[in-house]
Amino acid sequence: MANGNGRAVAPAQRRAEEPEENIFLFIPNLIGYSRIVLAVTSLYYMPLHPRTCTFLYSVSCLLDALDGFAARKFSQSTKFGAVLDMVTDRCTTACLLVFLASAFPRWSIVFQGLISLDLASHYMHMYATLSMGGSGQSHKKIDESRSWVLKMYYSNNIVLFTLCALNELFFIALYLLSFSSPILSPSLLQTAPTSLQPGSPAAPKPSMLFISPWSAGAMEMARANKMDSTIPWILASVSFPVMALKQVINVVQLVKASKWLAEGDREARRKAGLPKKKSL
């Protein structure tokens, strides 16, 4: 190609003159940053204000679907965006589970296990797909011959969104129940020697119901009078089967990624001539 002076412009020079795209300012990545801000803000409100926290946390989770739509619509799918999306998901879920572990100490080992499974399965899966599948491989591109379950999970956006949304909904419902259900949180009600009689007084003060007037439950009652646990119980019951299925998929993902990495290790050792045969 010739310029105005009749000189040829090299392709490398032409590329150098083109403006460099700023990946960090792509629309789906901007949505990802807003998710982080909302998630961090929800953590600030998490100990004392369940309604505000739930609203902010839920919006952050719902935006997870919007950034994927924006990436496809504006042709701005990037590896940075994919990793940002996954890291944000793992961190926000882990933070909520940490709170649940402290709210339900008897079940803390279960929540710790869920955190470990979630982080381990997704890290192993992403590392396996990027290291074994080549530079152009995405963690959402799954060969059906390896796992039809993961193929369905990652290739169908409706299935992916439904499972992730209801999985988060179950933990959000547990979070709300930690403020409203004496069945799950017996410490919400005071076990004083002199028990309160129904209707006496008609509107007891939070200090009469809660062990500590500065506890999360007492602060919430003082702020909003009461918090009904009916809806959180319904949400938890409806979403529990999907949450359990999501954990099964995490186990499958962890096992399949481990086997794929082992295949690569065997092939690399074979090319290196290992194990070396012992000479007689």
Please check whether residue 100 is in contact with residue 171, taking contact to mean a CB–CB distance below 8 angstroms. yes
What pLDDT digit, counting tens, does each position of 111-153 carry?
Answer: 999 999 999 999 999 888 888 766 556 666 777 777 888 888 8
If DSSP states are collapsed to H, E and C, what string results for the chain?
CECCCCCECCHHHHHHHCCCCCHHHCHHHHHHHHHHHHHHHHHHHCCCCHHHHHHHHHHHHHHHHHHHHHHHHCCCCCHHHHHHHHHHHHHHHHHHHHHHHHHCHHHHHHHHHHHHHHHHHHHHHHHHHHHHCCCCCCCCCCCCCCCHHHHHHHHCHHHHHHHHHHHHHHHHHHHHHHHHCCCCCHHHCCCCCCCCECCECCCCCHHHHCCCCCCHHHHHHHHHCCCCCHHHHHHHHHHHHHHHHHHHHHHHHHHHHHHHHHHHHHHHHHHCCCCCCCCC
CA gap 13, 105 in Å, rounded: 63
CA gap 69, 112 in Å, rounded: 32
Give yes or no for residue 74 having a pLDDT over 80: yes
Q: Average of pLDDT values for 28-46?
A: 95
The widest CA-to-CA distance across the chain, in whole angstroms, is: 99
Determine the pLDDT at residue 149: 87
Q: Tokens 């499972």 sit at which residue?
A: 163
CA gap 177, 6 in Å, rounded: 76
Q: Tokens 């002199």 sit at which residue?
A: 194
Which range of 26-35, 146-155, 195-204, 216-225 scores highest in mean pLDDT? It is: 26-35
Q: Which residues contact 108 (CB under 8 A, 6 or more apart)?
A: 101, 102
> Is 103 contained in some domain?
yes
Q: Which residues contact 249 (CB under 8 A, 6 or more apart)?
A: 149, 150, 153, 163
> Is 11 contained in some domain?
no
> Is 78 contained in some domain?
yes
Determine the pLDDT at residue 229: 84
Q: Look at 32-41, 69-78, 195-204 and tell me which has the smallest mean pLDDT.
A: 195-204
Determine the pLDDT at residue 200: 47
CA gap 65, 63 in Å, rounded: 5
What is the pLDDT of the chain when averaged over all its residues? 83
Question: Active site residue: 64, 67, 85, 89, which one?
Answer: 89
Q: Which residues contact 146 (CB under 8 A, 6 or more apart)?
A: 256, 260
CA gap 53, 61 in Å, rounded: 12
265 is catalytic: no
Domain that holds residue 119: 21-186+209-262
pLDDT class of 15 with cuts at 50, 70, 90: low
Q: Which residue has the higher pLDDT, 236 or 202?
A: 236
Give yes or no for residue 3 having a pLDDT over 60: no
CA gap 229, 31 in Å, rounded: 32
Give yes or no for residue 157 having a pLDDT over 90: no
Cα angle, residue 45 at apex, residues 190 and 94 outer, rounded to 5° = 95
CATH code at position 47: 1.20.120
> Is 249 contained in some domain?
yes
> Is 236 contained in some domain?
yes
> Is 201 contained in some domain?
no
Determine the pLDDT at residue 279: 62
What pLDDT digit, counting tens, does each position of 255-267 carry?
Answer: 999 999 999 899 8
Determine the pLDDT at residue 259: 92
> Is 7 contained in some domain?
no
Number of domains in the chain: 1
> Is 202 contained in some domain?
no
What pLDDT digit, counting tens, does each position of 211-247 carry?
Answer: 666 666 666 555 544 567 889 999 999 999 999 999 9
